[in-house]
Amino acid sequence: MYKIIVKSNKKSFEIIAIQGQNLLEQLREAHVAINSPCNGNGTCGKCKVKILSGYLPDASQNEAKVLGTKAIEAGYRLSCSYNIQSDIEILLEDGSSQAQILTEGRQRSIELLPIVTKENITVEKPSLSCQTADFERAIGGDFKDSFPNMQLIRMIPEIIRQNDYNISLIKMGTQLLGVEAGDTSKTLYGVAIDVGTTTLVSYLIDLTTGKRLCVHSLLNPQKIFGADVISRIKHTMDTDAGLEEMQSLIINEVNNCIEAMCEETNISRTSIYAVTFVGNTTMMHFLLRVSAKYIGSAPFIPSVTSMLNLNVKELGIDINPFGIACILPAVSAYIGADTVGAVLSTGIYEQEEISLLIDIGTNGEIVLGNKDNLYACSSAAGPAFEGANIRNGIGGVKGAINSISLQSGIKFTTIGDVSPIGICGTGIVDGIAQMLDVGLIDETGRLDMKWKPTTNEQTNIAQNIVVIDKMNALVISGDIAITQKDIRELQNAKAAIAAGINVLVKQSGISFDDIKNVYLAGGFGTYIDIDSALQIGLIPSELKGKIQSVGNAAGQGAIEGLVSLESLSQANIISKKIKYVELSSSKDFNDFYIDCMMFE
């Protein structure tokens, strides 16, 4: 067994491989979505990695041709041509830096036992000495489940005879979902979907291999009824068909995601038999067209939190009509299936070590604990981290300023390296962290209009301190500025998260020292500069050095639910294990919130 340390874009993780295994295959198995358009034929050169240490074979003639002498000398090799012979350290090539890693923080080894399976069988032909009915012939015995799918029973007599009694059975556990004529057992797909308040992320998975084939993201179209869940719940209560409207908006977009992924991969929707969903409790209620009315006000009661399996037709999802939708379980009104999914995929529920999981979206869900105990709370950070309520705030889209430095004048980067059109959450955090760093903001959050530069390079910073809409502000570029109000918004948001962390630490009796790992999840958590997050006090400074980003851990939980029945059953256990700490009735929370408002 060899250890492969994989380095990429500021991230690093390990995978384990056996002598002689192909590197590309191992990276794919570890869900590293490395580019390989030629599918391992050694012709495209996109799967190259830099071997930083360990076995470095001479380059093959082909590698020399595809990669060029310079790259070969620098230690680059094609991962498709590389067989593992020692512990190695590799750098994922920047050219393939779209290479997104599904579980970016922790590596989990999951046995492939998908939520739905396909099996090819040939049943005995009917005769006077074998008069078993068609349905029972297909399922190999009596029907013992709860309610049968009559449509399926109606189709079986023709399907079973179509290919001379050779059929493929699609099952969930022991329950028959569908029957296809002939051997179709090689084509079986699933979709995992994370329904966020702001964004919908979907993954297409090959359920015969567990491989991720494709990712697709869209904005949640419900945003026209408000950026936060409360506004949307209000809409469903104020409008007669509001809830139906919410459902159809999200279902349409789910179908759009699925359509886009099927087009990209050229697979047929009818070979998709399962969709798993995670999302906050309100989003799951809307998806199910279940009233979220009592989620909106104390004592915050959801309609349903159990894991639910539904026929996709019931939801109107366009995959195989015999397919199922599985909604992962939630804990409470504000600890949803997304948090359960994130706890699942980070594996903190099975570790001896104590971990802190922070999933920051519109709400910040925080989970603290280990295999023995899990405490969770949800802190209403508001949508500031997603760019809302910020003067020039936008989501993490092309043209969003996503990092700011004031170390040598005002410098920034944008997503896609294009002209800036606004600032996303990570940019705001970066900008304010930098303003604190250079003393432009004091510990109360006041933007100092009289701030004086100490170096020549800082001159343009001073020039950019202006008054906009009667508020102090720092212009970053053109019309784009960070205002005093933006700073206040961020103070509120970060105070909410930091206070939530403090309450959990206090109520669980766990000390900051006991916490060994801090996982930052969610789109925001993935891209945030960890130093900036510490600088503004979003994360208590005691946790410095323990923090890592884990990407869309919730979405990864949905994928796990798709590829592993064991993970689904763990999700159920997790949902019951988590002790929910209600912050709205917590005096501690208010005290911490006020404390955490300051920058210090």
Q: Which of 22, 62, 311, 373 binds its own copies (CB under 8 A)?
A: 311
Letters for 175-194 (x = contact with its own copies by CB under 8 A, - = none) are x-------------------
> What DSSP assignment string belongs to 51-90?
EEES--PPPPHHHHHHH-HHHHHTTEEEGGG-B--S-EEE
Q: Which of 104, 134, 194, 365 binds its own copies (CB under 8 A)?
A: 134
Letters for 536-575 (x = contact with its own copies by CB under 8 A, - = none) are ------------------------------------x---
| Shorter beta-carbon distance to its own copies: residue 378 or 491 | 378
- Phi, psi of 461, rounded to the nearest 5 degrees: -65, -50
Q: Does 136 bind its own copies (CB under 8 A)?
A: yes
Q: Would you state the structure tokens that stand for residue 93, as one six-digit string?
A: 């090539």
Radius of gyration over every alpha carbon of the chain, rounded to an integer in angstroms: 26
The candidate with the shortest Cα–Cα distance to 42, out of 92, 98, 3, 80, is 80
Q: Would you state the structure tokens that stand for residue 292, as one six-digit string?
A: 């979220």
| Shorter beta-carbon distance to its own copies: residue 159 or 354 | 159
Q: Could you identify the residue written with the tokens 């059953």? A: 569
Query: 354-360 and 364-369 as β-strands: parallel, antiparallel, unpaired?
Result: antiparallel
Q: Which of 257, 333, 554, 559 binds its own copies (CB under 8 A)?
A: 333
Q: Least Å distance between CB 269 and its own copies? A: 21
Q: Least Å distance between CB 299 and its own copies? A: 5
118: helix, coil or strand?
A: strand
Compute the residue count for the chain: 600
Number of Cα atoms under 13 Å in the Cβ half of residue 467: 4
Tell me which residues in 223-242 interact with its own copies (CB under 8 A): none
Residue 164, number of CB atoms within 10 A of its CB: 11
Q: Least Å distance between CB 126 and its own copies? A: 5
Q: Which of 61, 109, 127, 266 binds its own copies (CB under 8 A)?
A: 127
| Shorter beta-carbon distance to its own copies: residue 145 or 479 | 145
Q: Which of 35, 85, 100, 291 binds its own copies (CB under 8 A)?
A: 291
Q: Mention every residue, 6+ apart, whose C-beta is less than 8 A from residue 369.
A: 348, 349, 354, 355, 375, 508, 510
| Cis bond before residue 57 (omega within 30° of 0) | no
Q: How many Å apart are CA 214 and CA 206, to the nearest integer?
A: 10
Q: Taking contact as CB under 8 A, which single stretch among the options 18-26, 330-338, 487-495, 588-596 is the one that binds its own copies? A: 330-338
Q: Least Å distance between CB 586 and its own copies? A: 10
Q: Least Å distance between CB 149 and its own copies? A: 9
Q: Least Å distance between CB 580 and its own copies? A: 7
Q: Which of 314, 442, 469, 531 binds its own copies (CB under 8 A)?
A: 314
Residue 559, number of CB atoms within 10 A of its CB: 29
Residue 573, number of CB atoms within 10 A of its CB: 13
Letters for 261-290 (x = contact with its own copies by CB under 8 A, - = none) are ---------------------------xxx
Q: Least Å distance between CB 190 and its own copies? A: 18
| Shorter beta-carbon distance to its own copies: residue 132 or 444 | 132
Number of Cα atoms under 13 Å in the Cβ half of residue 597: 11
| Shorter beta-carbon distance to its own copies: residue 154 or 398 | 154
73: helix, coil or strand?
A: helix
> What DSSP assignment string belongs to 363-399?
SEEEEEE-SS-EEEEEE---GGGGTTTSTTB--S-TT
Q: Which of 156, 233, 356, 495 binds its own copies (CB under 8 A)?
A: 156
Q: How many Å apart are CA 488 and CA 390, to the nearest integer?
A: 10
CB 436 within 8 A of CB 490: no
Q: How many residues contact its own copies, by CB under 8 A?
A: 55
Q: Does 126 bind its own copies (CB under 8 A)?
A: yes
Q: Does 213 bind its own copies (CB under 8 A)?
A: no
Q: Taking contact as CB under 8 A, which single stretch among the options 42-50, 147-155, 382-390, 528-536 is the one that binds its own copies? A: 147-155
Q: Does 165 bind its own copies (CB under 8 A)?
A: no
Q: How many Å apart are CA 36 and CA 254, to the nearest integer?
A: 27
Q: Would you state the structure tokens that stand for residue 284, as one six-digit string?
A: 């799951």
Q: Mention every residue, 6+ apart, whose C-beta is less than 8 A from residue 549.
A: 11, 104, 105, 519, 520, 521, 525, 526, 527, 528, 530
| Shorter beta-carbon distance to its own copies: residue 54 or 157 | 157
| Shorter beta-carbon distance to its own copies: residue 158 or 259 | 158
Q: Taking contact as CB under 8 A, which single stretch among the options 26-34, 35-43, 202-210, 305-313 is the one that binds its own copies? A: 305-313
Q: Does 305 bind its own copies (CB under 8 A)?
A: yes
Q: Least Å distance between CB 377 and its own copies? A: 13
Q: In what order do the strands lie in the sheet with 211-219?
A: 211-219, 199-206, 189-195, 272-279, 324-327, 308-311
Q: Does 321 bind its own copies (CB under 8 A)?
A: no
Q: Would you tell me which residues interact with its own copies (CB under 8 A)?
A: 126-128, 130-136, 142-148, 150, 153-154, 156-158, 175, 288-291, 293-294, 298-311, 314, 329-330, 332-333, 572, 576, 580, 582, 584-585
